[in-house]
Amino acid sequence: MKIFLTGKNGQLGHRLLEDLKKIHEIIATDRNTLDLLDTQLIEDSIYQVKPDVIINAAAYTNVDQAEKEKDLAYKINALAPEALSRAAKELDIPIIHISTDYVFDGTKERSYVEDDEVNPLSVYGMTKWEGEEFVRQHPKHFILRTSWVFSSLGDNFLKSIFKLVQEKNSLHMVDDQWGSPTSVETLSKAIQIIIQYLDQKNNSDVYGTYHVTSDGKTNWYLYTRKILDTLESFKVELKLKKYDLHPISSAQFPQNATRPKNSKLNTDKFKKIFMAEFSHWENEMNDTVLQMLK
């Protein structure tokens, strides 16, 4: 298949490019080759390439900065997906669009399913929700909501903590925000499953919104403790000791953007329809840390 991929230099885009180019023809773009603020350019580029499927892995992901750059976040997270979806509809091809757990407000006690009511608490969450709605205007869409993405590349929580625990003598981490750390390998696997399904069946019954995360859940404090444990098991010399890692509440750690207290996503729908299984986040984190230590 010929695949048009945005965000090739992001942590997910990079992983997808490496995985998909082994089998498919990939037209991969970044901010230098495709200006996501130019919606006409986006459409023209797709019309010129005429791909079989579009994967939108590009996004404005700085949650706190989005509170100050609302217009920019809206253009990248909402208007760019609208242009991608409009071109996909014109060419009658599927689009795979990545969204976020932050479309929910976190007040639900159990894991969120795809049909739960959204209520974003931040500009980032709102613009991602608006992007979803634009993508849904084209029937042939897959919207994959995910959470707490990590890899050995790019900017993410795991890499930040990996550095901090080797430099800091103490840390305070929030312990009342729960979610599922998700590796780019899990996301790439899910997208490859969809691509393979489309290549074989092109069944319109499977289009829609899905939740895709690694298995298991945690909070930021426990996540950091697990990173500490993992690094210690690999004999990494650390300045930070376990007793110098302190749990705090969200109220004690004010940020520009409000985060949901619970953003755990239920992945049963994807697993059932595509007969898929995902690894536990702790196992995938261990693998990622090993990559980072090489």
Query: Which tens digits make up the pLDDT trace of 12-44?
Result: 999 999 999 999 999 999 999 999 999 999 999
For residue 101, give the DSSP letter.
Answer: G
Tell me the per-residue pLDDT of 39-98, one tens digit each, with 9 for 90 and over: 999 999 999 999 999 999 999 999 999 999 999 999 999 999 999 999 999 999 999 999
Q: 203 pLDDT band (50/70/90 cuts)?
A: low
What pLDDT is attached to residue 242? 86
Q: Does any domain span residue 118?
A: yes
In 3D space, the residue among 83, 100, 98, 97 whose CA is nearest the CA of residue 140 turns out to be 97
Query: Can you give the length of the chain in residues?
Result: 294
Cα(129)–Cα(27) distance, rounded to whole angstroms?
A: 26
Q: Read off the CATH number of the domain in which 47 is found.
A: 3.40.50.720
Looking at the structure of the chain, the number of domains it has is 1
* Residue the block writes with tokens 């995360």: 213
**Residue positions annotated with a catalytic role:** 124
Q: How far is CA 240 from CA 152, 166, 289, in A?
A: 21, 7, 17
Q: Does any domain span residue 16?
A: yes
Tell me the per-residue pLDDT of 152-182, one tens digit each, with 9 for 90 and over: 998 899 999 999 999 999 999 999 999 999 9
What residues make up the domain containing 15?
A: 2-152+182-216+263-279
pLDDT(184) > 90: yes
Tell me the per-residue pLDDT of 260-285, one tens digit each, with 9 for 90 and over: 999 999 999 999 999 999 999 999 99
Q: Does any domain span residue 116?
A: yes
Report the amino acid identity of residue 164. L
Tell me the per-residue pLDDT of 204-261, one tens digit each, with 9 for 90 and over: 689 999 999 999 999 999 999 999 999 999 999 899 988 899 999 999 999 999 999 9
Report field, pTM of the whole predicted structure over 0.85: yes
Q: Does any domain span residue 163?
A: no
Q: Does any domain span residue 245?
A: no
Q: How far is CA 243 from CA 27, 145, 239, in A?
A: 49, 35, 12
With beta carbons less than 8 A apart as the criterion, state whether 147 and 99 touch.
no
CA geometry: angle at 186 spanning 236 and 9, to 5°?
80
Cα(101)–Cα(169) distance, rounded to whole angstroms?
A: 32
Q: Which residue has the higher pLDDT, 237 or 129?
A: 129
Q: Does any domain span residue 233?
A: no
For 95, the token pair is 């689009």
Q: Does any domain span residue 125?
A: yes
Q: Does any domain span residue 112?
A: yes
With beta carbons less than 8 A apart as the criterion, state whether 264 and 179 touch.
yes
Cα(284)–Cα(149) distance, rounded to whole angstroms?
A: 11
Helix (H, G, I), strand (E, B) or coil at 221: helix
